[in-house]
Amino acid sequence: MSFTSADAAKIKITAVDVFVYDLPLQQPFRIAIGTMEAANDVLIRLRTDAGLTGLGEACPFPPITGETQATNIAAAKALREIVPGRNPLEVESLLRTYGALLHSNPSLTAAFDTACHDILGQAAGLPLYRLWGGDRTSFETDITADLDTPAAMAERAAGFVAAGFSMIKIKVGQGREADLERLRAIRDTVGAGIRLQIDANQGWSPSTAKDTLKKMERFDVLFCEQPVLASDIDGLRDVRRTSPIPVMADEAVYGPADAVRLIKAEACDSLNIKLMKAGSLTAMRKIAHAAEAANMPCMVGCMLESRLALTAAAHVVASHRNILWADLDGHSSHRIDPVIGGMGFGRGRVTLPEGPGLGASIDPAFLEKLPRV
């Protein structure tokens, strides 16, 4: 089915279906500011009068964004009232409407924006990354070792290397000596050829961060994500000034305005862009463009989303030259993967799907059984 511009102008959203999308984890996921027992997500399906449907996933991560599945569902109900009759292709104008109304539920707005983009790509007959002018059909991703004892984390890291990964993200931020031990154990186990990055998830004070990062220099660390509190921009800049390891902002950057604030403050060396913080694919791309104009590299990261939302983020990575790193492993800790199509994930690489739009859907038999709100 191909659409002319006149056809595209007439497409209208007819219904918003909201599903409770719970994904059990293999084991609880631990970071410095909290533990997640499961991914309690929300799935949005947009239906249109043109026969196209779009899918999007919200993966609220309460310790970071303060949302829950319940607040996302409440936001989805509000959205269901305001968007029927709107054109899903008009993502910029829709973002104005729902972004203001639902700004405290960025994961839910991300799900809605993803579904709109899924329809946009299908109407254009192109995968999103092609529509956005991207040319990378695959890229490297890291994989994360969450907080545990140094020995247990080193064992996990060895498993990642055996599975073909050459970039490992290590969660730290829980005790200065313990963090050094974690890094030492992992570096000793994986050897010099594997790239290591660390993520303190706001777990350090500025003085602890400065001291610890100096001591970590000898373990050859690519960068450190969010060493200090998200709200402490001065502290982040202070750490960056003395740190031998480049500093990446994560929890300090949600949308494009945060990115501009951090760039102006010279508070970080790079940005971690995530769909669930940015609140839309549109906002992710605006952050990447702002950073590129400031000659700043970015990573695209994730929460604990399934391959549906990860695929949406992968399209962004494939379309921006200054996104040098990807951390798109959210589904690797899940017990199930109900996504059909979507990004490939193996031996440390993500491969883009070639179908139009998102190029990913949910197994109809699985979707059928999900509770509808």
Q: Is 250 in the site for Mg ion (CB under 5 A)?
A: yes
335 to each of 125, 176, 341, 354, how far by Cα in Å?
A: 33, 33, 18, 26
Nearer to Mg ion, 19 or 325 (CB): 325
Of residues 181-200, those binding Mg ion (CB under 5 A): 199
Count of residues of this chain found to bind Mg ion when the rule CB under 5 A is applied: 3
Among the options 169, 274, 277, 286, which is catalytic?
274
Among the options 17, 146, 199, 327, which is catalytic?
199
Q: Is 142 in the site for Mg ion (CB under 5 A)?
A: no
Candidates 161-169, 184-192, 242-250, 328-336: pick the segment binding Mg ion (CB under 5 A).
242-250
Nearest residue to 79 via CA among 173, 13, 23: 13
- In angstroms, the CA 170 to CA 316 distance is 24
Per the annotation, the verdict on 199 as an active-site residue is: yes
Nearest residue to 145 via CA among 163, 120, 121: 163
Under DSSP, the state recorded for 306 is: -
Per the annotation, the verdict on 225 as an active-site residue is: yes
124 to each of 105, 113, 316, 368, how far by Cα in Å?
A: 29, 16, 17, 28
Give me the least distance between CB of 31 and Mg ion, in Å please: 8
Per the annotation, the verdict on 264 as an active-site residue is: no
276 burial level (CB within 10 Å; 0-12, 13-18, 19+): buried
In the shown chain, the binding pattern of residues 281 to 300 toward Mg ion, with x for contact by CB under 5 A and - for none, equals --------------------
Q: Is 225 in the site for Mg ion (CB under 5 A)?
A: yes
- In angstroms, the CA 264 to CA 361 distance is 40
In the block, residue with structure tokens 């499961």 = 38
Per the annotation, the verdict on 220 as an active-site residue is: no
Give me the least distance between CB of 301 and Mg ion, in Å please: 6
Nearer to Mg ion, 118 or 199 (CB): 199
Nearer to Mg ion, 171 or 285 (CB): 171
- In angstroms, the CA 166 to CA 141 distance is 9
Candidates 47-55, 106-114, 181-189, 247-255: pick the segment binding Mg ion (CB under 5 A).
247-255
Per the annotation, the verdict on 274 as an active-site residue is: yes
Nearer to Mg ion, 250 or 258 (CB): 250
Judged by DSSP in three states, 108 sits in: helix
Q: Is 146 in the site for Mg ion (CB under 5 A)?
A: no
- In angstroms, the CA 38 to CA 314 distance is 23
Judged by DSSP in three states, 167 sits in: strand
Among the options 250, 251, 305, 329, which is catalytic?
250
Candidates 69-77, 121-129, 218-226, 273-281: pick the segment binding Mg ion (CB under 5 A).
218-226
| Site for Mg ion, rule CB under 5 A | 199, 225, 250
Catalytic residue positions, numbered: 171, 199, 225, 250, 274
